[in-house]
Structure 1
């Protein structure tokens, strides 16, 4: 059984993951939080004490860390005796943190795909460019590395695996739909790191259609659906992490990702993009100073963590799955609804952070318990989905399934775990 958790990253997702780990520290052991800015880590610890999230007396400690420094990460893993590392820092630090885990023997968890700061929207499949190149090293060293276990990617991967395993004989399409129907009350803001957020939308939108990669422009293709709780919503075809592993591991000819945007967001985004302010390439000012426009925009926008106190409304994220069962057409929507207000009351973060941070903490628990301690690298759809979804039902992210007029909580039985 693995114990002692090191959380790298002190943003909104890190705050949620820390609260959830604290709520289960009787199983997970010591909890350490590390970031470049140790004050942010201490603020999370203060929040945990304030909300009395720590289940049992135990270690809860903040550390300063440059996660790009492999030796520094290795040293912190060793000094804290951490056997599980939850990486919820910038996507730029994935590879150094993963390498440190490989060299120290710690299990590795992340919530998003690695990105090179100098590159935007690389050729698919994205996991093959970085993470999967270290698969053999993980297997040879017995390292458990769970990739992309936020909500999307993450829980939606488990939804896809469960649908293919238990609900269909043949799956023809999986449309992942992500809608934030909440309001933060600001003129313009992003729900997580603006630099990472905008990079998702300035390149090509790669999706898997008819067993091949298809590239579209952002906001080129849209759809409208009537969704549970949040009602009629328009979403746009977008490239996203999970498509790049699901298309590789599941025999499904069509896998697409759709994200909801309001007209105001699209208008502001287009102005910023057309002016070149979302470029990751440095520009030189008249005084000779070099700046990256995207980083300037990031600096002037609200800190995503600051949005939480005023956030209202709910998110709806799920998979619309179509295919065949027992010779007949079948269509289900497997999904979760999350409240911004309830997320903030529990963890001090909004629902976007909550839906990403809770699954990461759940993965740590599954590794600690042995369910997911697979001693190799795996994307979520390669792992049994039932233990994750059962755990999420209990700790704050319940799954529902809508089919026709039926809409009910997903119930899992012990027999399904052994299938």
Structure 2
């Protein structure tokens, strides 16, 4: 039984994680949250207290931390006695926090692949460039490391495993579709960290097709999807984290990721990129100041957390898995629909943050109880999806399926 949780990060996703950990502090124990700006952590804990979110009385402490300092992270883990670390900070800190967990023996959970600030859309399989290099170290230290345990990556990986285990004997393709049909009312904004958001779409679009990595440009390949609740939506093939592990675990299947974009987003994105404003490389101004254009754009855009109060509409994220069962063609779409307004009313965040923040807490509960306490490094599709999806059903992210019998909710009792 592992107890006491350290949350690293203080953005919109961290707010969801904090509230959901508070809802389950009877299982998770003492709670701590740390980031470079302690005041942001204080505000998150204040929101937890305002909603009386703690299931049982207990501490929820805040800390200032440079998470790129592995020694400082390890010291905080030891000082707080935390046995589970949920890393929902920038993807730039992953390898440093993971190293601290290996050193201290704490379980590690994150929601994205590590990134280096000066590199974009690295060569696949991207996980092999950073996290997977520490797989043996985790095994030797008996450290549990659950990689990519957000929604995508995360829940969609569990959906792929569920489809392969329960519905499709021979998986031939896995298409992950992420549609946000909500509206934040701003001229232009991103739903999570603008820097990380834009970096996903300025490089090469990698997919795993016909047993090989294929390359496209962003917005080069698009199609219309007819989805539950949100209806017909245009989505474009994009590079994304989960493709890199799913391709390793289901090499016989084509694995693609599709994200929905409106014409307005594409137009603004195209202008910014064409002007060089989405570059991660430094430039020098006429006044001799060195700046990184992407960071300047991030600075002038709305904070994603600020979008929550007026956000309306729904998201639909799921996996279309095709293949054969009993030699006959079969396909299933396993999905979740989330509501922005419901998310804000419950935890004070918008729906994108909610879908990303609830799953790592479910993973932490499974680690705490031993079900997912693997003592090694794994991606989500390497674990039994049933207890994970069963928890999410009661935590606010229910799973449904569309197949030959229509749409229906799934139960994991």
Report 1:3-18 matches (<5 A).
Answer: 3-18=3-18
Query: How big is each residue's C-alpha offset from its partner over 1:350-397, in whole Å with a ceiling of 9 and x where there is no partner?
Result: 010000100011011000011000000000000111110000011110
Q: For structure 2, list consecutive stretches of 5 or more residues without a partner in the other structure.
A: none
* CA distance in structure 2 between the aligned counterparts of 1:13 and 1:252, rounded to whole angstroms: 34
Report the equivalent of 2:132.
132
Report the equivalent of 1:404.
404
* CA distance in structure 1 between the aligned counterparts of 2:77 and 2:252, rounded to whole angstroms: 39
Report the equivalent of 1:307.
307
Report the equivalent of 2:38.
38
* CA distance in structure 1 between the aligned counterparts of 2:55 and 2:251, rounded to whole angstroms: 42
| Residue 165 of structure 2 corresponds to residue 165 of structure 1 | yes
Question: What SS is found at the alignment partner of 1:349?
Answer: coil
1:89 offset after TM fit, Å?
0.2
Query: How big is each residue's C-alpha offset from its partner over 1:312-352, in whole Å with a ceiling of 9 and x where there is no partner?
Result: 00000000111111221111110000000000000000010
Query: How big is each residue's C-alpha offset from its partner over 1:165-195, in whole Å with a ceiling of 9 and x where there is no partner?
Result: 1111101111000000000000000000000
Query: How big is each residue's C-alpha offset from its partner over 1:55-92, in whole Å with a ceiling of 9 and x where there is no partner?
Result: 00001011110000111101110111000000000000
Q: Is 2:168–2:331's contact at 8 Å kept on the other side of the alignment?
A: no
Report 1:6-405 matches (<5 A).
Answer: 6-405=6-405
* CA distance in structure 1 between the aligned counterparts of 2:380 and 2:369, rounded to whole angstroms: 17
1:121 offset after TM fit, Å?
1.1
* CA distance in structure 2 between the aligned counterparts of 1:55 and 1:17, rounded to whole angstroms: 14
Question: What SS is found at the alignment partner of 2:206?
Answer: strand
Question: What SS is found at the alignment partner of 1:201?
Answer: coil
Q: Count matched residues.
A: 413
* CA distance in structure 2 between the aligned counterparts of 1:249 and 1:327, rounded to whole angstroms: 22
Question: What SS is found at the alignment partner of 1:102?
Answer: helix
* CA distance in structure 1 between the aligned counterparts of 2:183 and 2:2, rounded to whole angstroms: 40
Q: Indicate the RMSD between aligned Cα atoms, in angstroms.
A: 0.7
1:405 offset after TM fit, Å?
4.6
* CA distance in structure 2 between the aligned counterparts of 1:60 and 1:345, rounded to whole angstroms: 21
In the superposition, the TM-score normalised over structure 2's length comes to 0.99
Q: For structure 1, list consecutive stretches of 5 or more residues without a partner in the other structure.
A: 414-419
Query: How big is each residue's C-alpha offset from its partner over 1:249-295, in whole Å with a ceiling of 9 and x where there is no partner?
Result: 12432010000000000000000000000000000011111000000
Q: Is 2:161–2:385's contact at 8 Å kept on the other side of the alignment?
A: yes
Question: What SS is found at the alignment partner of 1:202?
Answer: coil
* CA distance in structure 2 between the aligned counterparts of 1:166 and 1:403, rounded to whole angstroms: 13
* CA distance in structure 2 between the aligned counterparts of 1:53 and 1:314, rounded to whole angstroms: 24
* CA distance in structure 2 between the aligned counterparts of 1:198 and 1:133, rounded to whole angstroms: 26
* CA distance in structure 1 between the aligned counterparts of 2:299 and 2:251, rounded to whole angstroms: 42
* CA distance in structure 2 between the aligned counterparts of 1:253 and 1:11, rounded to whole angstroms: 35
* CA distance in structure 1 between the aligned counterparts of 2:314 and 2:113, rounded to whole angstroms: 25
* CA distance in structure 2 between the aligned counterparts of 1:12 and 1:217, rounded to whole angstroms: 29
Question: What SS is found at the alignment partner of 2:176?
Answer: strand
Query: How big is each residue's C-alpha offset from its partner over 1:96-121, in whole Å with a ceiling of 9 and x where there is no partner?
Result: 00000000110000000000101111
* CA distance in structure 1 between the aligned counterparts of 2:305 and 2:169, rounded to whole angstroms: 43
* CA distance in structure 2 between the aligned counterparts of 1:57 and 1:81, rounded to whole angstroms: 18
Q: Is 2:222–2:237's contact at 8 Å kept on the other side of the alignment?
A: yes
